Every structure is written in structure tokens, then in C-alpha cells.
Amino acid sequence: MRFDLIAADDQDGKALRGLGTYGFINGANGFVVGALGAGKQNLEEYGYRMEQIVLSATDMGLGTCWLGGTFTKSTFARKIALKGAESMPAILAFGLIDDETQARSGALRLRVGGDKRLSWQTLFYEEGFDSLLSREKAGEYEPALEMVRIAPSASNKQPWRIVQTDQGFHFFLQRTKGYRSIMTRLVNIDDMQRLDMGIAMCHFELTAHQLGLKGLWGLQDHKVELPDDLTEYTITWIKDLE
């Protein structure tokens, strides 16, 4: 996996206009592009790394916007010298925000409810999906979970669900019914919600580290009964109990 910083030209603008609703991006002349190789959980890792870049840019006062789609044959791919086995599942537009109030009140952002987030009770559970996790029971990890709750996601679907057990925090992807087929038609990528899981992991881990909470990512036999066939296990944050 590798990322590069590029300046846009007219051809890049044409590539964006081919992305349907994502063509609402105007005036951005800086982009972060990435090349992704094959591998298990590679999309989650890509989402994780790109969100790190988003947060760094935000810390510098820049505006950013995720652009999901297949850019394999675009000018962006040529600029990063994309190889045959690599893909580019998303790019990042960034720049100075001309009018933040106007940006937050745009039609597309309002349509997807960009400033709204699902409730804590919808996203976080204890021991299994039949028992809600309270903020009190989350304890010192409450801020990390809150940073997941307010994280961005494609179309603001927030597909992450987290179950706390004695082992740690099990991250599950709860797919939005019909969303994969819709996004495949719009932007030619069928698993944008796996990128979203990487974003959630990034917010969780960075917050945990800032709080001095130690742990690591790993795959576990979680023994959590899945609530439906739209829910699938992604990964576990294994708490350091020492």
C-alpha cells in the first residue's frame, strides 16, 4: 500500500464528473491517491490509512472529502503508476474551505444527513447483540467508542457495530441492505463499507492511544451470535490486561 500527493488538472476533473453524485466536488486542486495490493482485509487497512491522512489534514485546517470509486483507468492511476495487480478504491480531495457554513449546508450533505449520527444504543453492545452497552459500562473506552460513533462513512450509513466482551471489543460490519448493488452501479465499487470499517478502527485506536489504553488488533473466536445475515465479523481490539 502506498499513497501520493498530486495536483489536479483538467483531466482529473473529467474523471470526477464521471462519478455521478460525487461530481459535486468543485475547486479542489489537491488530491491524495493510493495504490492497494491484494490481501486479506486490505480494504479495511486502506480505509484506516486514508482516514489517518484525513485527520492530519483536518488538524492543519484543511477541508477534505472522501471520493469512493474505481479509478484504475483514470489519470489518477497514471500519476501514481498503478500496477496491474493494484487497485485504487478511493481518493481524497482536499483544500482550503472557502465558506464552511455554506459547505455544511450543501444539498448533497443535507440529503445524506452529513451532520447526523446514529445513537450510542444502536451501535454498541455488551456480550452479545441482545444487550446494550451503556457509557458507564464502557468505562475508560467510552471516548474511543464515541469517536467511532461520530466518524464519517460512505453515505453516512455508519455500518459498524461493536460488542464488548472480556476479550476486548469485537468489530462487526452490518451491511446496509441493497447498498452494495446501488454503489456498484454508481461508482463501480461493491465494498465501500469495508473502507468504513477501517475508518472506525482508525478513530478507535488513535483515541485509545491518546488515552494511554494499550491493545492490539487481531482475529478472535468471538462466540457472538450474529443477529442477521447482513452482519459479519471484521476484527477485535484485544485489550492489554497487564
Burial class (CB in 10 A: 0-12, 13-18, 19+), 100: exposed
Domain boundary residue among 77, 104, 131? 104
**Domain stops at, among 75, 104, 133:** 104
Instruction: Write the CATH number for 50.
Output: 3.40.109.10
- On whether both 132 and 175 belong to a single domain, the answer is yes
Provide the angle, in degrees to the nearest 10, between the axes of the packed helices 179-187 and 192-210.
100
Cα–Cα distance measured from residue 231 to residue 242, given in angstroms and rounded to the nearest whole number: 32
Specify whether the CB–CB gap between 230 and 193 falls below 8 A.
no
Residue 81's domain comprises 2-104
Quick one: pLDDT at residue 30? 87
Overall number of domains in the chain: 2
Mean pLDDT value across residues 137-159: 95
Look at residues 71, 104, 137 and tell me which one is the last residue of a structural domain: 104
Torsion of Cα atoms, 198 then 152 then 11 then 78, to 10°: -10
CA nearest neighbour of 173 among 211, 215, 94, 228:
228
CA distance 38 to 198: 16
Which residues neighbour 64 within 8 Å (Cβ) at sequence distance 6 or greater? 54, 57, 58, 92, 93, 94
Cell numbers at 220, concatenated: 478472535
Q: Which grid cell sits at 196?
A: 468504513
The total of other beta-carbon atoms located within 10 Å of residue 9's CB is: 11
On average, the pLDDT of the chain sits at 85
Q: How far is CA 142 from the centre of its chain?
A: 20
Residue type, 55: L
Predicted local distance difference test score (pLDDT) of residue 21: 43
Co-location of 99 and 155 in the same domain: no
Pair 93, 21 in one domain: yes
The Cα angle at residue 239 between residues 161 and 218, in degrees rounded to 5: 65
CA 242, CA 240: separation in Å to the nearest integer? 6
The vertex-42 CA angle with 40 and 48, nearest 5°, equals 135
**Residue 139 is assigned to a structural domain of this protein:** yes
State whether 6 and 100 are in the same domain.
yes
Predicted model pTM: 0.86
Which of 35-49, 97-111, 138-152, 194-208 is predicted least confidently? Answer: 97-111
Whether 82 and 33 share a structural domain = yes
Give the tens place of pLDDT for each residue, 105-147. Answer: 555 455 555 568 999 999 999 999 999 999 999 999 999 999 9
- pLDDT for 68 equals 80
- Is residue 36's pLDDT more than 50? yes
pLDDT over threshold 60, residue 26: yes
- Same domain flag for 55 and 95: yes
